[in-house]
A and B are shown apart, each in its own frame.
Chain A
Amino acid sequence: MNGQLILIPGRSAKQGVGLNKGKLKEEYIRVTTTLEISFEDAAEMGLETADIVKISNHIGETEVQLKVLREGKIPVGYAFIPYGPPSSCLFDGETCSTGMPASKGMTIDIEFVKKGVKKKTALPPKTAVG
């Protein structure tokens, strides 16, 4: 139940809404600790929506909750997480003389920690949807 993926942190509307409610509040923390991966990768690693996983690289590590996306929503081998403190844990400070850290496309290890509480609506369909 372990694997390796390429992480693409980014913005999401839910993250923006949570940010306005307060960065120290539950909604923002929940949104920014949700990792999205493809249906295929989840199946290969034996992971399901709501599982708690540890993601790590040579910079740091953090625990997040998994959300498995429908087929085609994210390329196989890639993971998405909204910007926030958990994604920052994995950013390297090297900017290649630009001021901009490489904030997308870092390789992360993913490791199952425990089962989480699953919402019915969060379950992905079993069949492929474009």
Chain B
Amino acid sequence: MSAATKDDKIVNEKIVENATCTFCGCCCDDITLTVDMDKKVITKAKDACILGKSWFLNHVIEDKPIARIDGKEVPLDEAIDEAAKVLMDAKFPILYGMSDTICEAQRQCAPIMDDCGGTIDTTTSVCHGPSGMAFQGVGEPSMTLGEVKNRADFVMYWGGNPAEAHPRHFARYAVTPEGMFTPNGKDDRTVVICDVRHTKTAGVADIFLQIKPGKDFEFLWILRAACKGVAIPENCKEICGIDKEVAEDLFNKMKNCNYGVIFFGMGLTMTRGRHFNSGALMALATDLNEFTHFVAKPARGHGNVTGADNVVSWQTGYPFGVNFSRGHPRFNPGEFTTVDTLTRKEADAALIIASDPVANFPKPAIDHITSDKCKLISIDTKNTPTSEAAHVSIQTSTYGINTGGTVYRMDDVPISLRPAFDSPFPSDLEVLTKLRKKVNELSKKANRPYATRKYM
């Protein structure tokens, strides 16, 4: 339900044109918001999808403390001092999250962990982290969504359900929009969905391939072999659930299109094989360039998770799972990724930014992060199981609604936000800048050798 009822007459109305929805990785920047400036609520979000509408219309300024320590309200500066002390006193501090905040706030995070010799990790590690590893192995045949809109005549979704996770992906970028070289929209495109379930996404498909669960790699490798002239095997259906004739027809459509694209989801990265699955898909897209122009892209989830990867990459050289304990950045998924450091009970302090591991992580990791062996600090815009379990909890304003800044769309295109109205809560940028300064002060006092390192 919207925060304002239909009968309410808005006296002090503000229209925000071309606002950006930061709920999912599509970052649609064509939303028109109607804002009741007296009540501080958004009453309409024209052109937003079901997720975007719920993102904007449910946003209210909540009556609750900005900062709490062990559930007790405290001044913000006291909470920041306590958070800095916890991080500096810890033997293995970790920082996790960052996907739901602006790039300007994200860039404060690596210096904080550098100063306290900790580990920085983004939500990518439990999302498209395996795809990030695959990029390093096989490269990324990349593009922007604008190219897809204007050129793609073969569009495939593999192991994802954009109809529910990215509802405007079809209409704005990939399936129905009329592009420069696809003037008839969907009529000019072949749309293929490959998934283990007949999801809502399957409804838009010209071809739906219900693959056997856990057999993505096998089918991808069959198609890669076909690129090299190897026949599709007779027992293709037995191997991966796809008929030989269907696989042959698919391969012909792929190599005979003018511009092909595959978007892939966590059906590949979260199942057995993980980065091998993503790598096989991107290698297939690369192989298909022997015949035509072909690209692939992960369909990223949270609003600015792509920005988090970009910022951490340009600051440390690696996208996620980066450790500073030796004074220089080291990347090792499985060792420095958050699920692992928590499951192995190594982390003794956790700074969680705009994320909710207590709701979403595996049980052994939750058991440790909520135990008295790990001091939890939460910086978030809403009450979540993580903020409620935190030793230090700081409530911040919401990016894209209350604060401006930069986010990266899923195709690595940066977008500037247009906020709708102010919030009494501080921004993530303000809180993290203060925390960075405090940690740096303590680090210098402790004569840490890297406390004077300059960051952009």
Contacts of B59 in A (CB 8 A): 20
A125 contacts B by Cβ under 8 Å? no
Q: Is the interface of A mostly helix, strand, loop or mixed?
A: loop
Contact of A104 with B385 in the complex, beta carbons under 8 Å: no
Instruction: Determine if A113 is an interface residue (Cβ-Cβ < 8 Å).
Output: no
* 5 extra A-B contacts, CB within 8 A, seeds A20-B55, A99-B339, A130-B198: A10-B161, A17-B54, A75-B213, A99-B126, A100-B126
- 5 A/B residue pairs, CB under 8 Å, sorted by A: A16-B50, A74-B197, A88-B362, A88-B363, A99-B334
How many residues of chain B get a CB closer than 8 Å to chain A's CBs?
Answer: 60
Which chain A positions have C-beta within 8 A of B165?
11, 13, 16
Binding site for B on A (CB under 8 A): 6, 8, 10-13, 16-17, 20-24, 59-60, 72-75, 78, 80, 83-85, 88-105, 130
Q: Mark interface residues in B262-298 (1 if CB within 8 Å of A CB, else 0).
A: 0000110111101100000000000000000000000
Q: Name the interface residues of B209-226: CB closer than 8 Å to any CB of A.
A: 210, 213-214
Minimum CB–CB distance from B191 to chain A (whole Å) comes to: 18
How far in angstroms is the closest Cβ of chain A from B139? 19
CA separation between A98 and B198, bound complex, in Å? Answer: 28
In the complex with contacts A16-B23, A85-B359, A95-B340, A103-B270 CB distance below 8 A: yes
Q: Which residue of B lies closest to A71 (CB)?
A: B198
Q: Does B58 contact A (CB under 8 A)?
A: yes
B364 touches A93 (CB 8 A): yes
Asked if residues A23 and B210 are in contact (CB atoms below 8 Å), the reply is no
- Partner of A11 from the list B125, B164, B337, B383 (CB cut-off 8 Å) is B164
Shortest Cβ gap from B381 to chain A (Å): 11
| Bound CA–CA A28/B129 (angstroms) | 26
Q: Which residues of chain B are near A23, meaning CB under 8 Å?
A: 356, 359, 382-385
Contact A8 B274 (CB under 8 A): no
CA distance A96 to B334 in the complex (A): 7
A20 closest partner in B (C-beta): B54
Interchain CA distance A92-B361 in the complex, whole Å: 9
CB <8 Å contact, B337 and A17: no
| Given A84-B359, A90-B363, A93-B342: A21 and B198 interface contact (C-beta under 8 Å) | no
Query: In the complex the two chains form, is A97's CB within 8 Å of B359's CB?
Result: no
- B400 interface residue, CB < 8 Å from A? no
A11 to B167, CA, bound (A): 12
Q: How far is the CB of B205 from chain A (nearest CB, A)?
A: 13
Q: How far is the CB of B48 from chain A (nearest CB, A)?
A: 11
Distance to closest chain B CB from A45 (angstroms): 19
Closest to A90 in B: B363
- Chain A nearest CB: distance from B134 CB in Å? 10
Contact of A92 with B362 at beta-carbon distance under 8 Å, contacts A8-B213, A20-B54 already known: yes
B23, B54, B269, B343: the one contacting A93 at CB < 8 Å is B343
Rounded to whole Å, the gap between the CB of B385 and the closest CB of chain A is 7
Q: Which residues of B contact A103 (CB under 8 A)?
A: 126, 266, 270, 362
